Amino acid sequence: MSATITIETSDHTQGVDITRQVQEAVEAACLSDGVCVVYVTHTTAAVAVNEAADPAVMEDVFAALDRLVPWDGPYAHKEGNSAAHIKSVLVGSSVHLPVYDGRLQLGTWQGIFFMEFDGPRRRRVLVKTVTNDWE
* Contact footprint for Zn ion (CB under 5 A): 79, 81
In the complex, what is the shortest distance from the CB of residue 57 to Zn ion, in angstroms, rounded to a whole number? 28
**Closest CB to Zn ion belongs to which residue?**
79
In the complex, what is the shortest distance from the CB of residue 21 to Zn ion, in angstroms, rounded to a whole number? 26
Rank residues 28 and 90 by Cβ distance to Zn ion and give the closer one.
90
Rank residues 42 and 95 by Cβ distance to Zn ion and give the closer one.
42
Tell me the C-alpha distance between 84 and 60, whole Å: 17
Question: Strand, coil or helix: what is 5?
Answer: strand
Rank residues 8 and 79 by Cβ distance to Zn ion and give the closer one.
79
In the complex, what is the shortest distance from the CB of residue 87 to Zn ion, in angstroms, rounded to a whole number? 12
Instruction: Give me the phi and psi of 106, to 5 degrees please.
Output: -90, 150
CB 117 within 8 A of CB 71: no
| Cα-Cα end-to-end distance for the chain | 17
